[in-house]
Amino acid sequence: MELKIKGIYKHFKGDYYIVEDVAIHSETKEKYVVYRGLYGNSELYIRPYDMFLSEVDRKKYPDVKQKYRFELQNIKSVKD
C-alpha cells in the first residue's frame, strides 16, 4: 500500500486523520508518518511508517471490518 500525503485516512476504530508528511528519525533513519486528528483539538501524532500501513491484528480485534490499521478514504467533492 502506498501512503498519500494530505490523504484522509480512517483508523480501524473509527476516527479520521489527515497525513501531514513523513519524517525521518535523525539517528536511526526510521521513517515516521506525521498525521493530525480530524476531531477534537486536532492533535498531531507520529507513528512508525510500517505500523501505520500495517494490517489490523485479527487476533486482538477479530470483529473489525477494515483490513488495514489506517485506510485511505475516497472523499468526493459536492461539486462532482
Note whether residue 53 is domain-resident: yes
On whether residue 76 sits in a domain, the answer given is no
Distance between CA atoms of 36 and 51, rounded to whole angstroms? 16
* pLDDT tier at 1, thresholds 50, 70, 90: confident
Q: What is d(CA 13, CA 27) in angstroms, rounded to the nearest whole number?
A: 32
67 within domain boundaries = no
Per the structure, how many domains does the chain have? 1
Tens-digit pLDDT profile for residues 12-66 = 999 999 999 999 999 999 999 999 999 999 999 999 999 999 999 999 999 999 9
How do strand 44-48 and strand 31-37 relate by DSSP bridges?
A: antiparallel
Q: Is residue 1 assigned to a domain?
A: no
Residue 25 lies in a domain: yes
Place of cell 508528511: 21
Supply the pLDDT for residue 77: 87
Domain of 20 in residue numbering reads as 8-62
